[in-house]
Amino acid sequence: MSNAKLYLFVYNAAQVLGWSIILIKTVFGLMEGLKWKDLYESVQLEVEIFQTAAILEVLHSVLGLVRSPLGTTLMQVSSRLALVWPILHVASSSRHSLGVPLLLLAWSITEVIRYSFYALSLFNSVPYFIIWLRYTTFIVLYPTGVTGELLTLFAGLPEIGREKYYTLEMPNPANMGISLWWLLFLASFTYIPGFPQLYFYMFSQRKKVLGTEPEKKKQ
């Protein structure tokens, strides 16, 4: 086994473990009837660690360790990080949103499946049921996650605007203004072209993969 393959396996396996912990804690939190804010705070450390670690996937793409397109990887990772850090970490009001359980469930289930798929793909030993989950669960989980992300974002905007988090107002020595509120508000519009493009791309991939995989399995 090459060093690169070993590294990728360890990375993906660690992500499977991390997101499995998040999923289990989220499910038990929901069963216990935790408030959305308490639910998020029960997994906040794990979410911040393992979602931030996804920055490495951008580097993997740049270095050619994986075949994932750099642009798509960068967009997906940055949108998640925007939710985790300047919104959920900073604006406590965002944690009261219904979007919190939606995104936690969608993210954790998706990532457990995705990283399991990647880890096993390194050895060409992905079971068919994981392939099926990888190219089927997105039908529900992707719109659920996007809905959760937008609800959480909009729940945090009033506090971000009121408290002026990460805002640089004029006049100042730099002679420029920066508003996190406006950056996040404008970023929300990227979901309009981004969601259908990625969603229907996954449908095309599903047809391509699941249309041939059962035949391969029979051989």
Which residues carry out catalysis?
A: 142, 149
What is the C-alpha to C-alpha distance for residues 26 and 23, in angstroms, rounded to an integer? 5
Give the Cα-Cα-Cα angle 204, 217, 5 (nearest 5 degrees).
75
What is the C-alpha to C-alpha distance for residues 38 and 63, in angstroms, rounded to an integer? 39
What is the C-alpha to C-alpha distance for residues 75 and 89, in angstroms, rounded to an integer? 20
What is the C-alpha to C-alpha distance for residues 175 and 26, in angstroms, rounded to an integer? 45
What's the one-letter identity of residue 207? Answer: K
Burial readout 128-143 (b: 16 or more C-beta within 10 A, e: otherwise)? eebbbbbbebbeebbe
CA dihedral 24, 29, 35, 37 (to 10 degrees): -40
ω into 171 cis (within 30 of 0)? yes
